[in-house]
Amino acid sequence: MVDMSSVQKKHLHKLVDALPDNEVPAAQRYLEFLRKQGEDPVRAALEAAPIDDEPETENEARAVAEARGGKVVSHAEAKRRMDL
């Protein structure tokens, strides 16, 4: 009996060998992506996520400064602020 997976992998090897040199990096990235899908899906998604390169807004900078200042609000106050 022929192992289909083995036949498919041999065919895949032939396809990779036939790729033009300029397409090899893209194929490599895609194959690595597929391989990682069998691993932790959350980690794979985080690794594939684009880098957040948007500049920080003034409101975000103030919020970060406030958070680093150690100011704490109660759970009830947080709910009130979020209209919950």
Residue 27 in any domain: the answer is: yes
- Which domain covers residue 27, as residue numbers? 4-48
Each residue's pLDDT tens digit in the chain (84 positions)?
567 788 899 999 999 999 999 999 999 999 988 887 777 878 878 888 999 889 999 999 998 888 888 778 889 999 999 998
Threshold 0.85, pTM exceeds: no
Look at residue 62 and tell me if it is in a domain.
no
User: How many domains are there within the chain?
Assistant: 1
CA distance linking residue 60 with residue 68, whole number of Å: 12
- Does a structural domain hold residue 25? yes
User: Is residue 74 situated within a structural domain?
Assistant: no
CA dist., res. 62 & res. 66, Å (int): 6
Residue 80 lies in a domain: no
Token pair for 29: 């990235």
